Amino acid sequence: MAAMRMHHPIFRTLLAAAALASVAPGWAETGKLLLTGGVSSVTGSAGGGITPWAVVGTNATEGQWGASAFATRLVTQDYALTSRGAALAWNDRIEFSLAQQEFNAAPAAALNAIAPFGVAPGLRLRMDVVGLKLRVAGDAVLDADTWVPQLAIGLEHKRLDPGTLAPVLAFVGADTQGTDVYVSATKLILDRGLLLSATLRATRANQNGLLGFGARAPGRSRHSLQGEVSAAWLLRRDLAVGAELRMQPDNLQATGRAAGLGAALRADPWADLFIAWAPSKHLSFTLAWAHLGRIVPGITDGRRQRGVYLSTQVAF
């Protein structure tokens, strides 16, 4: 599958759908309760900032189409991530999303000191993500007074354009594309304003795919199961605070250690603390403090990557 850019016809179609959603018959008009559909994650699916929830995004309810678009910026001590994309949903049942990530990986040029990889200064990685999510059971709002959670299954196919990092990925045996499959359960306790979500993901992705997928032996090349959890508290109908934790497979470390690099390729879990505000049913903002752990600590003096995350979403 060729890498898709934001000028790709599918992106244009989804963005046009977001504009039509506010006026076309059969598209979401009243929509869901504020923030109960989540926000756009960095991979485009509805949920928190770094993990999907079982909810279907946009404002669409039963019998309606919905659309959304988002842009996200995250900056840490050594790296920066920009993610943008769009989603289309039908009947509060199925969600199709596209996202493109651009990762400022300028410190990777230090890898040239290990071997003549030819990593260019100011390296920027690009990754496209195609997502599909299907609600299979429950309803987060209608079942709010029961123990039944909303359940969804999903997949995210990711394709990385590594640029001049390609020789490094070849050295560690990482692929440039992979597919994650996940199951999410989300429970809304409406009378307490509390949302709880858990996801189990089968993945080969290194740093969510930004460093490729899998690794040669003795590293891990197969999918492994990784847990993700979220909690959000609705302070009022338009304002929520919460936290997320996302485990990461440590595929590369054993390969790096065997090559004499010690823990230079270690990966850590991701986490964040966030506040989300929806001034209207069509607009939301998310501000978070993110902790991404060590990302290739061998070239960043082992620094843990912490920074500010800001995301804007328009939904219909």
Q: Write the pLDDT tens digit of every residue in 267-276.
A: 999 999 999 9
pLDDT given at position 28 = 53
Tell me the mean pLDDT in the region 74-98: 97
pLDDT given at position 36 = 84
Name residues whose C-beta falls within 8 Å of residue 72's C-beta, 6 or more positions apart in sequence: 40, 42, 49, 81, 82, 83, 84, 309, 310, 311, 312
How many other CB atoms are there within 10 angstroms of residue 77's CB atom? 12
Question: What size, in residues, is the chain?
Answer: 316
Name the 3-class secondary structure at 112: helix
**Are 249 and 221 within 8 A, CB to CB?**
no
Phi-psi region of 207 (alpha: psi -120 to 50; beta: other; left: phi over 0): left
CATH for the stretch 9-315: 2.40.160.40
Name the 3-class secondary structure at 98: strand
4 secondary structure, DSSP code = P
pLDDT given at position 21 = 47
Strand partners, 151: 137, 185
pLDDT given at position 29 = 58
Banded model confidence at residue 1, pLDDT cuts 50, 70, 90: very low
Return the domain boundaries, the chain: 9-315
Reply yes or no on whether the pLDDT at 6 is more than 60: no
Tell me the mean pLDDT in the region 154-162: 98
